[in-house]
């Protein structure tokens, strides 16, 4: 069962001063293998408490370690989210009375950019905005979060839209209408975008824009040694094999992992086999989110698995942007030179605040809101 996963920490090697962003990024998931576990450790699991987490952070602050100034570049979707409150999902042929109907800014790419921006990151967003009443609202909201949209494009058609069916439990179902998110130029990436990618700290992608754009961006980043993270959410068509070898991190939830691997993902052993199968196909690291069970990070095939528990919340209001919040925080933290353990914990803390607010983009927390959670004792592991 997932609750029986051993919680393991890996020693993360610091990259040399002459290494590329990709080498430094990947090096933080490298390190010597841990010694074999005793029978008692295998039975009870290993856990590293918040005291160590705080001491590492304190030493870093005391030493005055400078954070990387290179920006996080997010290439992806931006949508107008139309949120409908429903008592439950309708049956075939059934009409349900709903509520809400409010229009909020969203889109996986824009959400992740705002998540990183509100946490204090330097973020540039590359997407396609529509020519309608939604576009100014979307741009203004991102600008307020500190996200630079100057590299983005415009379409003569409508903005992307998402119909979000929100149940009382906070669970959601989404109908996606791509709109302008599919109106990318046929001739390739604009020169200004490829230039920006070459100087990035990392690049984030999702599957709400055409795969051909993701492939072009990933190849451009790989060429310049810039690490690439792909959120598997969005289009459920088969993932291009040419893209897998360009990825430093592939980030699915357990359902998406099952779909892309073709393997079951109901238990931890099944998730591990499915994640390792993607690494056999060229992906370097696989970060799996498993809802209220937290997340699992599979690095090298010979390295132990890292697990991060969720932070407890009193009431879940809306889970729509939780995954985007988690991944945006994770990518930002790694790009700033922190360890995967630290990045996982930041992502978990940020997303725990996100689910307590209705809406996706507007629910992303600031670092000032997240910091008290990071300084509190680490949440217990699910049993």
Do the Cβ atoms of 294 and 310 come closer than 8 Å?
A: yes
Is 291 annotated in some ligand binding site? Answer: yes
Is 111 annotated in some ligand binding site? Answer: yes
Is 318 annotated in some ligand binding site? Answer: yes
Is 162 annotated in some ligand binding site? Answer: no
Which string of b and e fits 282-309 if b means at least 16 CB within 10 Å? Answer: ebbbbbbbbeebbbbbbbeeebbbbbbb
Is 183 annotated in some ligand binding site? Answer: no
What is the C-alpha to C-alpha distance for residues 205 and 212, in angstroms, rounded to an integer? 12
Place of tokens 């020519």: 131
Is 294 annotated in some ligand binding site? Answer: yes
Is 289 annotated in some ligand binding site? Answer: yes
Task: Report the catalytic residues.
Answer: 324
What is the C-alpha to C-alpha distance for residues 210 and 188, in angstroms, rounded to an integer? 12
Is 357 annotated in some ligand binding site? Answer: yes
Which residues, 6+ apart, have CB-to-CB distance to 20 below 8 Å?
Answer: 224, 225, 226
> Which pair of structure tokens corresponds to residue 112?
């992740």
Using DSSP, state whether 81 is helix, strand or coil.
strand
Is 363 annotated in some ligand binding site? Answer: yes
Calculate ∠ Cα 109-115-118, nearest 5°.
135
Is 324 annotated in some ligand binding site? Answer: yes
Is 140 annotated in some ligand binding site? Answer: no
Q: Which residues are annotated as a binding site for ATP?
A: 253, 289-294, 323-324
Q: Which residues are annotated as a binding site for substrate?
A: 79-81, 107-111, 208, 324
Q: Which residues are annotated as a binding site for K(+)?
A: 318, 320, 354, 357, 359, 363
Q: Which residues are annotated as a binding site?
A: 79-81, 107-111, 208, 253, 289-294, 318, 320, 323-324, 354, 357, 359, 363
């Amino acid at each position: 069962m997932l609750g029986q996963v051993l919680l393991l920490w890996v020693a993360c090697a610091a990259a040399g001063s002459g290494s590329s962003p990709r080498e430094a990024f990947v090096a933080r998931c490298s390190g010597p293998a841990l010694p074999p576990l005793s029978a008692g450790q295998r039975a009870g699991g290993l856990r590293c408490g918040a005291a160590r987490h705080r001491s590492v952070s304190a030493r870093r602050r005391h030493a005055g370690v400078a954070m990387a100034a290179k920006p996080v570049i997010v290439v992806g979707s931006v949508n107008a989210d139309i949120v409908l409150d429903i008592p439950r999902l309708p049956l075939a042929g059934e009409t349900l009375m709903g509520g809400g109907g409010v229009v909020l800014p969203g889109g996986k790419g824009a959400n992740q950019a705002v998540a990183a921006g509100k946490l204090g990151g330097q973020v540039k967003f590359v997407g396609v905005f529509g020519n309608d009443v939604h576009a100014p609202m979307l741009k203004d909201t991102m600008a307020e979060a500190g996200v630079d949209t100057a590299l983005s494009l415009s379409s003569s058609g409508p903005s992307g839209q998402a119909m979000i069916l929100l149940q009382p439990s906070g669970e959601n179902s989404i109908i996606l209408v791509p709109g302008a998110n599919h109106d990318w130029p046929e001739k390739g990436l604009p020169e200004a975008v490829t230039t920006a990618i070459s100087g990035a700290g990392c690049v984030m992608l999702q599957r709400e824009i055409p795969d051909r754009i993701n492939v072009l961006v990933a190849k451009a980043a790989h060429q310049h040694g810039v690490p690439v993270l792909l959120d598997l959410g969005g289009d459920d068509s088969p993932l291009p094999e040419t893209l897998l070898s360009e990825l430093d991190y592939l980030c699915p939830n357990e359902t998406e992992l099952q779909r892309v691997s073709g393997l079951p993902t109901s238990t931890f052993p099944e998730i591990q086999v499915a994640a390792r199968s993607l690494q056999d196909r060229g992906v370097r690291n696989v970060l799996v989110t498993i809802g209220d069970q937290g997340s699992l990070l599979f690095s090298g095939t010979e390295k132990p698995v890292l697990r991060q528990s969720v932070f407890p919340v009193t009431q879940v209001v809306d889970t729509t942007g939780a995954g985007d919040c988690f991944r945006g925080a994770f990518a930002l933290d790694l790009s700033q030179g922190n360890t995967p353990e630290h990045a996982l914990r930041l992502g978990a803390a940020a997303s725990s605040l996100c689910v307590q607010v209705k809406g996706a983009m507007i629910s992303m927390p600031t670092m000032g809101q997240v910091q008290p959670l990071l300084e509190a004792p680490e949440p217990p592991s699910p049993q």
